């Protein structure tokens, strides 16, 4: 039998996953409203998961979604290690979809908070 603490941790983990999926849904709606076509959500590669892959005109965006209490906290949670992981995953995805190689590639972020509008930050991870 598992301990009561383990049960509480499992419940909290499930809540975090649900909030993360909600944030990804909000980010997808925002990107769609901005004219992006969602190509994939929660795409897993050997190098890690990309939350959203979206295309608009001559641009393809590999998007990390961060849901936090404030926009500043969400932005602060973006790390160089995440940027490197997403860049490797993007390279892998592009190698499997060569018809997108001629497009501009962006490593973007969507910052989602409990209150307020989500914020799309193009090339947020390129700068790290």
pLDDT, tens digit (0-9, with 9 covering 90-100), for 94-122: 999 999 999 999 999 999 998 889 999 99
Q: What is the pLDDT of residue 81?
A: 94
Q: Which residues contact 42 (CB under 8 A, 6 or more apart)?
A: 24, 49, 50, 51
- For the residues 64-77, what does the mean pLDDT come to? 94
pTM over 0.85: yes
């Amino acid at each position: 039998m598992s301990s009561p603490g383990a049960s509480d941790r499992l419940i909290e983990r499930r809540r975090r996953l649900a909030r993360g999926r909600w944030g990804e849904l909000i980010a997808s709606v925002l990107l769609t409203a901005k004219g992006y076509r969602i190509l994939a959500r929660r795409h897993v590669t050997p190098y890690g998961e990309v939350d959203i892959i979206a295309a608009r005109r001559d641009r393809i965006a590999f998007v990390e979604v961060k849901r936090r209490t404030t926009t500043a906290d969400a932005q602060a949670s973006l790390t160089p290690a995440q940027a490197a992981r997403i860049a490797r995953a993007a390279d892998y995805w592009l190698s499997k979809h060569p018809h997108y190689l001629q497009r501009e590639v962006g490593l973007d972020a969507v910052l989602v908070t409990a209150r307020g509008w989500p914020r799309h930050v193009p090339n947020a991870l390129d700068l790290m």
